[in-house]
Structure 1
Amino acid sequence: MLKTNSIEKQTPTAYPIYPLIEERWSPRVFSNKAISEQQVKTLLEAGRWAPSSSNQQPWRIIWGIKGTETYDRIFNCLHKFNKGWAGNAQVLWACAFKKDMQNGTKENFHALHDLGLFMGNVCMQATSMGIAVHQMAGIDFKAAQKEFNFPDNYHVATAAAFGYYGGNPHELDDELKKQELEKERSRNPQSEFAFNGNFQ
């Protein structure tokens, strides 16, 4: 585990879980350490081996390393709120999925789920490398679709910011800094989402 984290986060799990899952979290500040193209392709390779419905692999990723034109093009598609912090990330992705099956005759209702599985693999691989991932719904999907020439049967669903743990939270505005410095992560208890029987 290569993680060097200047902010300690506690994950109060009800049951023991795999350490990479317990240690992963989504900062809004990152260290200045660069991420190489080889490291980006390692992350993509981890995602590549995610399961998908009928092995359709509907995910499509546009990636850019800080200092490149592609990075700036992705950044320009982000919503204003995310532009306020994401510029300190070393890598940006725009994450899309193909909405129909390979032959184009019917909708792929599982494509968004499969993109999520792809990014789950990416997040675990990144955490093992000491790299943090912050995923964002705040991307102008219409602007991104046009900017990157996606056909109509693709949807740009999310963006993701990557950087090594260890950024300075005092670079953020007061509200985001408060969130960043919170010691304990939180999740809904299992009783609110998992039912051994009927939905409750």
Structure 2
Amino acid sequence: MVSIKHAQTQYPVADLIRKRWSARAFSPQALSQLEISTILEAANWAPSAMNEQPWRYIVALKQNEEGYQQLLSYLNPGNAAWAKDAAALVFSYAKTTYARNQQPNINALHDTGMANQNLLLQAISMNIYSHVMEGFDKRKISRDFNLADDEQAVVMIALGHLGEAAQLDEPFRSREATPRSRKELGTFVKEL
């Protein structure tokens, strides 16, 4: 089943990129502290404007039941239905002002996105799958974690080893078994 999720690209992109996809079926296998620290270390080495490194993370491994349930509680019901089986949940947020002068960092969300992509690619290099989610209560999580006025919720990320599509209810089971597709380059690239 996983082979249908490997991207069928027009051009020879790196296998790591072809292999990464948004899984929903996670196995009960736990992540170790070394694994999660390695994944977060990769995020830390993303490029950032003025080396500001605006990304921030709150992480809960499933072994920490209280923290895990807290992060899970912010997810929309559709995401929580399958994300409950992930080995870790990660809340990603960004500091939107520069530390040196408190001026707006218009690159903060972009740079946090780059850090998140490093996180995803490091994870898949370790055969740890991920799913990035926008569907969560940003207002409540921001309030509960006392995010400052210049800190913005970005995404939640589920991480874990791959499970079986059969463990999912519909419509998620079908989505897990559907091949991936992308737009043709000509629809979003203009060459001069």
Structure 2 length-normalised TM: 0.94
Deviation by residue 1:65-86 (Cα, 9 ceiling, x = unmatched): 0031221111111112111110
Give the C-alpha shift of residue 132 in structure 1.
0.3
2:172 counterpart (169, 176, 179): 176
Q: 1:26 aligns with which of 13, 22, 27?
A: 22
Q: Does 1:11 align with 2:7?
A: yes
Instruction: Give how far 1:104 is off.
Output: 4.8
Displacement of 1:87 in angstroms is 0.1
Do residues 43 (structure 1) and 39 (structure 2) align? yes
Report matched runs for 1:1-200 at 5 Å.
7-9=2-4, 10-68=6-64, 69-165=66-162, 167-182=163-178, 184-197=179-192
Distance 1:160 1:106 in 2: 28
Give 1:48 deviation, angstroms.
0.6
Please tell me the residue identity of whatever aligns with 1:168: E
99-108 vs 73-82, greater mean Cα deviation: 99-108
4+ residue stretches of structure 1 with deviation over 6 A? none
Identify the residue that residue 3 of structure 1 maps to in structure 2: none
Q: Partners of 1:67 and 1:129 in 2: how far apart?
A: 19
**SS of match in other structure, 1:134:** strand
TM value normalised by structure 1 = 0.91
State the one-letter code of the partner of 2:189.
A
Q: Supply the distance in 1 between the matched residues of 2:171 and 2:88 (Cα, whole angstroms).
A: 24
Matched positions, count: 190
Unaligned runs of 5+ in 1: 1-5
Deviations 1:53-75 (A, max 9, x none): 11100000000000312211111
Counterpart amino acid of 2:171?
E
Contact 2:30 2:63 in 1 (8 A): no
SS for the counterpart of 2:25 is coil
